[in-house]
Amino acid sequence: MESIDSNLCFRVQIGVEQLFTQLMRPKLRSFITDMYKDVTYSLDEDGYTAAEYHDLVRKRFVKAWENLMEGYKDTLTDENFRTLLSLTLDVILRPWEKFMMSMKFTEVRHVLLPGPRD
């Protein structure tokens, strides 16, 4: 009985990984860049206040994250959803960290986004 249980858990794990690879990973390719598209932080104080008020990056992230994870929490068990969430975060966080490290910050907390690559 124990071997059947471990075999079933292994197969479910493989299924969650395939679900992630086939359905979610393609959506994550442009996840970070889509949040920051058309956003500039090379602003004066008034522009910075307006950008902070509109908070486009946060709003885009929330919308994209909700669209990405929609339906999975209700469909999967808690453990399988945690696995899917972990796989998703592993793929998002490294490129996001690299993207943030490529930014230049000024003394007034402004962020200068990297320009188009030549």
pLDDT in tens, 36-64: 787 665 666 676 676 666 788 888 899 99
Q: What is the pLDDT of residues 54-102, one digit of tens each?
A: 788 888 899 999 988 988 888 888 999 999 999 999 999 988 888 888 8
Counting other chains too, the contacts that 30-39 makes at CB distance below 8 Å and 24 or more residues apart are 31/64, 31/68, 31/92, 32/92, 32/95, 32/96, 32/99, 33/99, 34/60, 34/64, 35/60, 35/61, 35/64, 36/99, 36/113, 39/113
pLDDT at 118: 40
pLDDT at 18: 92
